[in-house]
Structure 1
Amino acid sequence: MKATYKKHILNFKRPSGTSRGVLTEKETWFLLLEENGKIGVGECGLLRGLSVDDRPDYEEKLQWVCQNIHLGKDKLWQELLEFPSIQFGVEMAFLSLQAESTFELFPSNFTKGKDTITINGLVWMGEEAFMKKQIEEKLADGFTCIKLKIGAIDFQQELDLVTFIRKHFDEKTIEIRVDANGAFSPNEALEKLQLLSQYQLHSIEQPIKAGQFVAMQQLCKKTPFPIALDEELIGVFDYEDKMKLLDAIQPQYIILKPSFIGGIKGSLEWIEIAEKRNIGWWMTSALESNVGLNAIAQFTYTLNNKMPQGLGTGGLYTNNFDCPLAIKEGQLYYNTDLNWDFKF
């Protein structure tokens, strides 16, 4: 078996705002396997500034993987504990190599075009008018779950945006999730949650920065509506440590981004631990190209979680790869009339 890797820079169609700043491009890496005339493709979806494996020896580790590909998927996964995005890339590449079709990793009614995955409509941070325009577009497109990134503009303006949605749609018609990306300080978080709670929100992701276990535990205990941990899961590699984290904080939900938490195996560990504690979960992409998004979507479908998933990021880039993934009326589906165009 031969293994190689390639770097690819994805360019955003328009600058995309988060509480950590504005993104104009996204670096990603592909792991390519060749054996007996077959090709396997995996994406190592590194997100600079957030991924725990954003470190100087990242490319060196990819070289090591290519030199040691003979170790196989399971052994490599163990050796790559501190490189979760490469773990996922390795899993993906081996599944792809073994699959009948390079990009059909989990054959199902989803990949046959017979079933769909409900997803949320993502509204990026920006000026109030820009955010309002996005909200109007998502509602017109038929989404029944809207996710708002908050924490970058004036909080009152953000409340006004939520008011705008609720003025036209009640919580039975439109589910609203908000994602603070750790933007609130522990001192102000509960007060802000109480102000947000009047809008019947589904949940808030990561209201305060990760690593503040006592403050987050208190917040989860007192919150007027559910809290979902996101960044909090990053860098927690050991199964025992995962249990300790959820036991300490006791969140209402966790959000799983395979590229951040060790791919398929890492996600399944978190799900097992969460479900034993009656903690809900959903799956989210982390700005991967359509290669990674495709793997996450197919994997997610097999888990039979009926909540809206965070998988609507395929249209963000000017130079993504054409593929059968499509969105219609808040549903992600596989258009079997479309083909993959995976070229660099």
Structure 2
Amino acid sequence: MIEASYKKYILNFKQASGTSRGVLKTKETWFLILNRENKQGIGECGLFRGLSIDDKPDYEDKLKWLCNHINEEQDKLLPQLIEFPSIQIGLEMAFKSLESQNTFELFPSEFSKSNDSIPINGLIWMGSEAFMKQQIKDKIEAGFSCIKMKIGAINFQTELNLIKSIRKEFNSRDIELRVDANGAFSPSEALEKLKVLSDFDLHSIEQPIKQKQIQEMAELCEKTPLPIALDEELIGLFSVTEKQELLQTIKPQYIILKPSLVGGFKGSDEWTIIAEKQDIGWWITSALESNIGLNAIAQYTYTKNSDLPQGLGTGSLFTNNFQSPLEVKRGTLQYNKIINWKYNL
């Protein structure tokens, strides 16, 4: 028999982090804890208030329901959690943790054995021009060859000047540049802005317009001079048919998967299979989980054998994160198995 419980945990940002949706100071998350005999399993339910489709008043009620039904088969539980993707991944994670020889080695690989690393992008948060310039300088000095900038909250010309300043020193072979608008552009202005951005040899732009504007996004992806990656657009689609239809209609150049927001590992697998059949590229990013969730997502990502830099460098953002073997070095995420986990739930 498995005993299940859950716990809420508030992660505190080291410094307020800006996006086009606002400034983040804290991040709420939940942990599903399973106990069977002398073994414990831990899964993180990475709820993202204001973004997750499962940001609902009955979220905690669903966790209670899950704990009461935990001894049912996992394959029967997951479909009943379909509208709660962050709980789905928490359940997948907790069972993998419970069944593994090491609580935190969920997807054994050369990565979790400390023999290989995952290339990641360096994330530049929105803020003043000086703040963003300093972040860019820090990331380049830290050895990142791929930088992702959040844009859309400050003056567009100021953002262009920042990108121009990078390109004056580093060409696209030296530094790959990605930008993320988080839906900040209006459909009427988006194409012109993409044309201007394309002058700087960018890798891609994430979600230039807000999600759920399917025809406008499809037209933008058809005409764009700059590869477009869908992000928020994927949230809230549950069936394989819905996912297929979205990608067939919009025909993006890339999709970005946040497992906590798109149905966990199973949901991410569905998206990658559909995307590859349509010759659409993809990469995986975290959604501001703690190191417990980030660890699981990173191990999963490594097994997917993607050559692109992933968005997994968020572990150092919080003052009260858990000490873990995850380390960012020279633009890669590494697993230092010499470092022990320290957590108190």
User: TM-score, normalized by length of structure 2?
Assistant: 0.99
Aligned equivalents of 1:152 and 1:299: distance in 2? 32
Paired residue secondary structure (1:71): coil
Matched, 1:193 2:194: yes
Matched, 1:265 2:266: yes
Paired residue secondary structure (1:172): coil
Aligned equivalents of 2:299 and 2:76: distance in 1? 24
Matched, 1:12 2:8: no
How many Å apart are 1:72 and its aligned residue?
2.5
Aligned equivalents of 2:290 and 2:337: distance in 1? 19
Q: 1:153-198: per-residue Cα shift (whole Å, max 9, x none)?
A: 0000000010011010000110000000000000000000000000
Q: List, as ranges, runs of 4+ consecutive aligned residues in structure 1 with deviation greater than 4 Å.
A: none
Aligned to 1:249: 250
Aligned equivalents of 1:72 and 1:227: distance in 2? 39
Q: Residues 220-239 of structure 1: matches in 2 within 5 Å?
A: 220-239=221-240
Identity of aligned pairs, percent? Answer: 65
Task: Give aligned pairs, total.
Answer: 344
Aligned equivalents of 1:172 and 1:77: distance in 2? 43
Q: 1:76-105: per-residue Cα shift (whole Å, max 9, x none)?
A: 111100000000000000000000000000
Q: What is the letter of the counterpart of residue 81 of structure 1?
A: I
Paired residue secondary structure (1:241): helix
Aligned to 1:130: 131
Matched, 1:205 2:211: no
Aligned equivalents of 1:84 and 1:227: distance in 2? 24
Aligned equivalents of 1:127 and 1:54: distance in 2? 30
Aligned to 1:31: 32
Aligned to 1:139: 140
Aligned equivalents of 2:133 and 2:76: distance in 1? 48
Aligned to 1:82: 83
Paired residue secondary structure (2:13): strand
Q: What is the letter of the counterpart of residue 189 of structure 2?
A: E
Q: What is the letter of the counterpart of residue 71 of structure 2?
A: H
How many Å apart are 1:73 and its aligned residue?
1.8
Q: What is the letter of the counterpart of residue 218 of structure 1?
A: E
Q: What is the letter of the counterpart of residue 16 of structure 2?
A: P
Aligned equivalents of 2:150 and 2:179: distance in 1? 6
Aligned equivalents of 1:150 and 1:67: distance in 2? 44
Q: What is the letter of the counterpart of residue 273 of structure 1?
A: I
Aligned equivalents of 2:280 and 2:71: distance in 1? 38
Paired residue secondary structure (1:87): helix
Aligned equivalents of 1:143 and 1:77: distance in 2? 37
Aligned equivalents of 1:191 and 1:62: distance in 2? 45
Aligned to 2:304: 303
How many Å apart are 1:38 and its aligned residue?
0.3
Aligned to 1:182: 183
Aligned equivalents of 2:232 and 2:338: distance in 1? 37
Q: What is the letter of the counterpart of residue 237 of structure 2?
A: V
Q: What is the letter of the counterpart of residue 216 of structure 1?
A: M
Paired residue secondary structure (2:71): helix
Paired residue secondary structure (1:148): strand
Aligned equivalents of 2:172 and 2:252: distance in 1? 22
Aligned to 2:111: 110
Aligned equivalents of 2:197 and 2:23: distance in 1? 25
User: TM-score, normalized by length of structure 1?
Assistant: 1.00
Paired residue secondary structure (1:34): strand
Aligned equivalents of 1:128 and 1:228: distance in 2? 25
In structure 2, runs of 5+ residues without a counterpart are none
Paired residue secondary structure (1:81): coil
Q: What is the letter of the counterpart of residue 124 of structure 1?
A: W
Q: 1:119-170: per-residue Cα shift (whole Å, max 9, x none)?
A: 0000000001000000000000000000000000000000001001101000
CA RMSD of aligned residues (A): 0.5
Q: What is the letter of the counterpart of residue 334 of structure 2?
A: Y
Q: Residues 96-107 of structure 1: matches in 2 within 5 Å?
A: 96-107=97-108
Q: What is the letter of the counterpart of residue 131 of structure 1?
A: M
Aligned to 1:153: 154
Q: What is the letter of the counterpart of residue 52 of structure 1?
A: I
Aligned equivalents of 1:72 and 1:44: distance in 2? 19
Q: What is the letter of the counterpart of residue 189 of structure 1?
A: A
Paired residue secondary structure (2:143): coil
Aligned to 1:68: 69
